[in-house]
Every structure is written in structure tokens, then in C-alpha cells.
């Protein structure tokens, strides 16, 4: 059992209710005709596919049927946070790196 918090239903729900729908925070070019084919192809096809922290969209398919964002570690599958559409993540690869550093500093 793997539970993920839905920011709209405001509770933990079983993973079975959700589906993953790809990388988050990808902005559609305002004027597609004005950009190069390469820039357009990057927008359409290319994703960051990181090893580690990834900001991605999830869909509460069997629940409220809303899309939301999640910060997930692609290596451990740990979901660090979920947040509503239009919001920005509070946890990023950078904030985690800083937190890890201060943790190590505190321990020595």
C-alpha cells in the first residue's frame, strides 16, 4: 500500500486511485509560430527525466478527477510533497541538498 496526499480531497489516498501524467511546470510557448522548430520540438517531446527529485503531474482518476503536482524522488519513489495546480514546489533538489548539508554539518 502506497498512500499519496490529494491536495483537493485533503487526505491520503491509495496509489491505485491515481495516475501519473508527466512532468509538471512545462509552459506552452505563447507564440508557437515565432519560435524555432528546435524550441518547439523541445516543448513537445523533450523532458528532463532526472534521477532524483522530479516535479510531475498526477491525476486523481478514481477520486476527485483533478490534476495536481507532486515532488517525487524517481530513485526511491518517495513522494516529498503534493501541491495544487498553479502553485510552486516548496521542496526542490536544491532545498534538499541544502538540508542534507546542514544535517551533516550538525552531526559532526
Partner 1 sequence: MTNFDTSNMESPLHHRVAHTNAANAGVVMKEDKFRGQLNLRGNPQDVAFTSAVESVLGVALPMAPSSSARNGDTVVYWLCPNEWLLIVASGTQGQVEADLRTAMEGQHIAVTDISSGQTLVNLSGTGVAELMQKSTVYDCHESNFPVGKVVQTTFAKTGTTMCKLEDGSFDLVIRRSFSDYFFLWLQDASDEYGLSVS
56 near partner 1 (CB under 8 A): no
The rounded distance, in Å, linking the Cα atoms of 79 and 4 is: 7
6 near Zn ion (CB under 5 A): yes
Binding-site member from 63, 81, 92, 96 for partner 1 (CB under 8 A): 63
Q: Which stretch binds partner 1 (CB under 8 A): 31-39, 47-55, 61-69, 96-104?
A: 61-69
The C-alpha cell 518547439 sits at: 40
38 near partner 1 (CB under 8 A): no
The rounded distance, in Å, linking the Cα atoms of 21 and 79 is: 15
CA dihedral 11, 16, 21, 25 (to 10 degrees): 20
Binding site residues, Zn ion, CB under 5 A: 6, 8-9, 60, 63-64
Amino acid at each position: 500500500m502506497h498512500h499519496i496526499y490529494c491536495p483537493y480531497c485533503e487526505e491520503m489516498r491509495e496509489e491505485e486511485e491515481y495516475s501519473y501524467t508527466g512532468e509538471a511546470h512545462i509552459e506552452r510557448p505563447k507564440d508557437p509560430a515565432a519560435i524555432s522548430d528546435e524550441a518547439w520540438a523541445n516543448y513537445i517531446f523533450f523532458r528532463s527525466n532526472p534521477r532524483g527529485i522530479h516535479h510531475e503531474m498526477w491525476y486523481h482518476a478514481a477520486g476527485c478527477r483533478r490534476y495536481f503536482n507532486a515532488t517525487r524522488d524517481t530513485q526511491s519513489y518517495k513522494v516529498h510533497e503534493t501541491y495544487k495546480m498553479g502553485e510552486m514546489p516548496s521542496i526542490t533538489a536544491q532545498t534538499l541538498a541544502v538540508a542534507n548539508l546542514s544535517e551533516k554539518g550538525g552531526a559532526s
